[in-house]
Amino acid sequence: MAGTKTGVRDRIVQTALPLFATQGFRATGIDRIIADSAVAKASFYRHFPSKDDLILACLERWHISHFAALKIAVEAGEVKSRPLSLFDALPQVSEATMRGDLLITATVEFGSAKPAIADVVAAARHQLREWFETLLGEAGYADMADSLSHEWLLLYEGAMIGSLRETPQQAARCARANAERSLQQIQLKRLLSKTLPGT
């Protein structure tokens, strides 16, 4: 019986995810989700007493899936290349986990009006930023990894937003180019500090 309950809950989330991704949270009605998932209304509300409960479950599911896929793709490469390979991997991972970013969609639609949703979004972003900091530190930028990780998060989110109005490849290439310039500037400053007296 427990497996059946888990199956129903999972089916509802799997049905809601692409609807939320393509139509948004506010525009997607509960009745549509119930109909498309082929569950009884009473069963739906046993698993999700409110639409916000379903949104939270979908945000968590999306982030876990997207983050895991991104980590696998990036961490398969050489350590020093990982900060930039993040942007190389992003188009494929983004397409696989649905185009766009549900965390950004939630921020745009709800802002801080729904604290529980805002907390989930904030926790997911924090996890991403900490991972970016780790990648940068391991690649040789430990002294600047904290500040760079905030920049990487902005570039990452910009690429995700950009993929909605142009191809994911174009958006990712633009973000990568900006990230690469930042690293090149750091490398140049390091070189100058070694070769020029008093710098």
Q: Quote the CA–CA distance of 32 and 102 in Å, as a whole number.
A: 19
Cβ proximity of 159 and 89 under 8 Å: no
Burial class (CB in 10 A: 0-12, 13-18, 19+), 170: middle
Cβ proximity of 96 and 108 under 8 Å: no
* Helix (H/G/I), strand (E/B), else coil: 49: coil
Q: Which of 24, 23, 12 is nearest to 54 (CA)?
A: 12
Q: Which of 158, 147, 133 is nearest to 182 (CA)?
A: 147
Query: Would you tell me how many other CB atoms lie within 10 Å of the CB of residue 143?
Result: 12
Cβ proximity of 60 and 142 under 8 Å: no
Q: Is this structure's pTM higher than 0.85?
A: yes
pLDDT of residue 2: 39
pLDDT, averaged in runs of 10, over the chain (199 residues): 65 95 94 96 96 97 94 96 96 75 94 96 97 98 96 95 86 96 94 74
pLDDT of residue 165: 82
